[in-house]
Amino acid sequence: MKVVIHYCEPCGYRPRAQQAEARLRQLAGAEVELVKGHGGVFEITVDGQLKFSKKALGRFPTEAEIDALAKG
C-alpha cells in the first residue's frame, strides 16, 4: 500500500500528518510519503486514489477513518 499525505506546512499540519503516517505504518505496514503543501491542504491518497480531503469535508480525519484506510 502506497500512501501520500499532502499537508499544509504553513498551517502547522505536519504533526497531524506524522500521526497519520505512524498509524498507517503501524496498522498496515504502509509505505507513506509526506508532501509539504500550502493553502490549508490535508489530503490522503492511497494507491493513487484520493481517500480523504480536509477541503471537501471541512475537518481532519478521525482515528477511525485512518484505521479504515489502513484496512483497505
Calculate mean pLDDT across residues 1-28: 97
Strand 42-46, strand 49-53: pairing: antiparallel
Torsion of CA 41, 16, 22, 56, to 10 degrees: -40
Residue 72 has pLDDT above 90, yes or no: no
What would the pLDDT profile of 26-58 be if each residue is shown by its tens digit? 999 999 999 999 999 999 999 999 999 999 999
DSSP codes, 3-63? EEEEEETTTT-HHHHHHHHHHHHHHH--EEEEEEE-TT-EEEEETTEEEEEHHHHSSPPPH
Confidence of residue 71 (pLDDT cuts 50, 70, 90): confident
